[in-house]
């Protein structure tokens, strides 16, 4: 299954594409979509939307996973992040992709083993788990981490479902 991980941000949205077959993960591509901060909010959100849709069209993932918004001290920043997240979710939804959402702490815990991991630790583990991966930016590494997290949780959920169905 091809999976798309997304780390939304108004200035920079990271994306990462992996293939997950059983327990095996393979890096396909990663990068960022940026918006021009001289434009209006609506135009910036449209840039993010078009950029994510282009990634979806190019790599044809079967599912997407998006990092949830964390609440920070600045309410205006949190609101803008939420709006960027909405544009990213709409991009995947309009392409008909099932979308899973994961809390930042769960992503870090799934990749590094602790929810308090630094961005550098996440990037290092992503490169270890996906040989050949570029992950040149923290945003694309975070997006790949979201995709890996989804692959692990998706696989576990399917095994539980299969076990429950065989027990009936």
The residues carrying an active-site annotation are 7, 67, 139
* Angstrom distance (rounded) from CA 98 to CA 92: 8
Burial 49-58 (b: 16+ CB within 10 A, else e): bebbbebbee
* Angstrom distance (rounded) from CA 5 to CA 25: 13
Q: Which of 17, 9, 1, 10 is nearest to 55 (CA)?
A: 17
Strand order in the sheet with 63-67: 24-34, 12-21, 2-7, 63-67, 99-102
């Amino acid at each position: 299954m091809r999976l798309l991980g997304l780390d939304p941000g108004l200035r920079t949205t990271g994306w990462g594409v992996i293939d997950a077959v059983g327990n095996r993960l393979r890096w396909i591509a990663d990068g960022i979509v940026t918006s021009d901060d001289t434009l209006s909010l609506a135009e910036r959100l449209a840039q993010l939307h078009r950029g994510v849709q282009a990634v979806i069209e190019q790599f044809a993932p079967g599912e997407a996973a998006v990092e949830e918004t964390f609440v920070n001290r600045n309410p205006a920043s949190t609101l803008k992040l939420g709006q960027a997240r909405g544009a990213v979710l709409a991009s995947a939804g309009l392409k008909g992709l099932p979308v899973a959402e994961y809390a930042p702490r769960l992503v870090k815990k799934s990749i590094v083993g602790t929810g308090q991991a630094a961005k550098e630790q996440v990037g290092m583990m992503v490169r270890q788990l996906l040989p050949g991966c570029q992950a040149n930016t923290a945003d694309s590494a975070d997006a790949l981490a979201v995709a890996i997290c989804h692959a692990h949780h998706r696989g576990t959920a399917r095994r539980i479902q299969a076990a429950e169905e065989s027990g009936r």
